[in-house]
Structure 1
Amino acid sequence: MDTQLTYAELASMMERRAGVSVEPLQLELRSAERFTEFGLDSLGLLGIVGALENEYGASIPADADACKTPAELLTVVNDVLKARA
């Protein structure tokens, strides 16, 4: 896996972990919209954060599951991954 989370990877995780299907390009174009607009609730986001920790072997900040938008989540996760590099 790459050292940065991409919209394509996030879209795939949303589908695998929460059953929410969204095209990666749409997720990127609408990255400032709330996760709820895509049909992802807080429990689904919590599952994604846990999966990210497992896949990247990194400790994601506890407040990551409070991110409201895909852009916010990518920023938090990628900041952690950059700091580890």
Structure 2
Amino acid sequence: MNAPVTYEELAALMKGRAGVSVDPKEMATRPEATFEEFELDSLGLLGIVAELEKRYERPIGEEAETCKTPRAFLENVNAQLTAGV
């Protein structure tokens, strides 16, 4: 079973794939803040999805690409990664 993707991993992916530095604690304490507030655009989010698909060797799906908040994104991705395991 895949371990869930955490705010820490998401922050690292945001920095590595989109060049956006975000404190994972801030994301966790502001779960309804949007990616836009963290200065992550849709292309950056696509890069993060692509990296997760490569890392876990399975498709993540288009729904994750349309998530507006880190919490919604993590819930969606983790649900997909644990489905059918």
Taking structure 1 as the reference length, the TM-score comes to: 0.92
Contact 1:58/1:80 (<8 A) preserved: no
Post-superposition offset of 1:23? 1.0
- Taking only the aligned residue pairs, the percentage that are identical comes to 49
Amino acid across the alignment from 1:4: P
Which residue matches 1:55?
Answer: 55
The structure in which a higher percent of residues are helix is 1
Residues 34-82 of structure 1: per-residue CA shift (max 9 Å, x gap): 1000000011001111111011112111121110000110011000111
1:6 paired with 2:6, answer yes
Gaps of 5+ in 1: none
Amino acid across the alignment from 1:59: P
**Residue pairs, 1:17-56, within 5 angstroms:** 17-56=17-56
Which residue matches 1:77?
Answer: 77
Amino acid across the alignment from 2:44: G
Taking structure 2 as the reference length, the TM-score comes to: 0.92
Gaps of 5+ in 2: none
Amino acid across the alignment from 1:12: A
